[in-house]
Amino acid sequence: MALLDSDVWAKKFFSDGWRDASGEQPVVEPATGEQLATAGLATAEDVRRASARAAEAQRDWAATSPQRRAAVLRRAGELLAEHAAEIEDWLVREAGSVRAKAAFEARLAVGECFECAGLPTHPQGEVLTSEDARWSLSRRRPAGVVSVIAPFNFPLVLGLRSVAPALALGNAVLLKPDPRTAVSGGVVIARVFEEAGLPAGVLHLLPGDGSVGRAVVEAPEVRVVSFTGSTPVGRAIGEQAGRLLKRAHLELGGNNALVVLPGADVPKAASAGAFGSYLHQGQICMTTGRHIVHESLLEEYTAALAAKAAALPVGDPAREDVALGPIIDRRQLERVHGIVTDSVAAGATLAAGGEIVGACYRATVLSGLTTDMPAWREEIFGPVAPVIGFSTLEEAARIVNDCEYGLSVGILGDVGTAMKLADRIDSGKVHINEQTVGDEPNAPFGGVKASGTGSRFGGTAANVEAFTETQWVTVRPDIADYPF
């Protein structure tokens, strides 16, 4: 049987096994509008029952040996690798990924599980000095029940990068994927861990609307909320979690800058810029949303980038060899086009693209912008590359920092100059002689300012910090004498 046979999960959610759902939603292929299957939707009441069950199951899971938890994570990674072709097909058809992006995401997911398999046996505490005649130490303990709310764009890996470390460290998880990618961002994860031998009740898959999102934050058993998504929704979740005294780890939006320094190799820079802006139709929080180019290269770079954009084919990635697939839905497609047309109306020049093609949007280049135009100020989440010039390093730093976001910055050109610029900018990530899109399971990931609450994903230190609590423990050889 295939891992994702719809007879197992159609019209169901996962909570102590696959349960019939009271609500349903079609799984739609964005490129064609075709219905691929029917997903089950959970309710707020389902969340309440699941969170209580998760708290119960978590105690036994936390007491499971580290070696056993590591084995489950390793087996999950093996299953992801064994069923990669099937998973990639769903990423193409449900999420609108081109084949190369789907394969990349599937590989990242495998790496995430293997990386997290090392967490259960990683040192989780330290010995402290003490003024008294006792042993003093701190240890990390599982937080308890973790809610994971994941987006549509990289649905598998952006859900798994919280689910896998949380499970590895002894937590139970409530997973709420985006309903538009309920299979590739939810069913895949539930099925993989089910087949990997994760005990019942430890992981719950709860697709649903905003009421389900609120419920997975408000459930009293939940101690940590891990959210990846838009900044407005992240603010609301942060406020909700703060009121309830819960930790919220928020990985939010970005309007990321690529700086092209004087003397940079223009053909290579334009290639990097095109990849940064157009991978997965620009629907990535790390997408290159602002191209900041030295005035000596501005005209040449803009022309080279426009030529790249014009040559990129768009279409249905399940049936054609294309570079850009569909935008996730019609509402987002029209939003992207609206930002482009509003910026052109305000005086920007359309150097390439700017056209809706079915469910797709052509790779677009805008020049002649000012920094107050919508295409420069807003996170577009579409395949649009706005280009602007700079004259001095100080001006480049000012333009980079003049943004509410601070997730990722790429700097292309002389390394020494790039290092000087990197010291002047506010960003969770800086890539010298690379574009802005990059992620590895062992690397810390997160942003500053409106991009989130810092690095709480990736790497041992970030994961342990995110999904455990610190406990201070002291031990004396006998009962101390007290003055009472």
CA separation for the pair 203, 198 (Å, rounded): 8
What is the C-alpha separation between 315 and 346, in angstroms, rounded?
A: 30
Q: Which helix (H) or strand (E) holds 213?
A: helix 210-218
Is residue 260 within 8 Å of 269, Cβ to Cβ? yes
Quickly list H helices, 311-385: 330-345, 374-377
d(CA 357, CA 135): 68
Q: 294, exposed or middle or buried, with CB in 10 Å at 0-12, 13-18, 19+?
A: buried
Residue 9 makes CB contacts below 8 A (sequence gap 6+) with 18, 39, 40, 183, 187, 190, 191
Among 88, 94, 105, 251, the active-site one is 251
Count of CB atoms within 10 A of residue 183's CB?
27
Out of 113, 116, 285, 403, pick the active-site residue.
285
Task: Write the CA distances from 342 to 305, 328, 359, 387, 469, integer angstroms.
Answer: 21, 21, 20, 16, 48
**Residue 468, token pair as written in the block:** 């455990």
Q: Which residue has the tokens 């609307």?
A: 209
Contact assessment for residue 331 and residue 364, using Cβ atoms and an 8 Å cutoff: no
DSSP 311-322: T--BS-TTTS--
Calpha distance 458→476 (Å, rounded) = 37
Q: Clarify whether 113 is annotated catalytic.
A: no
Place of tokens 């930790």: 247
- Catalytic positions are 251, 285
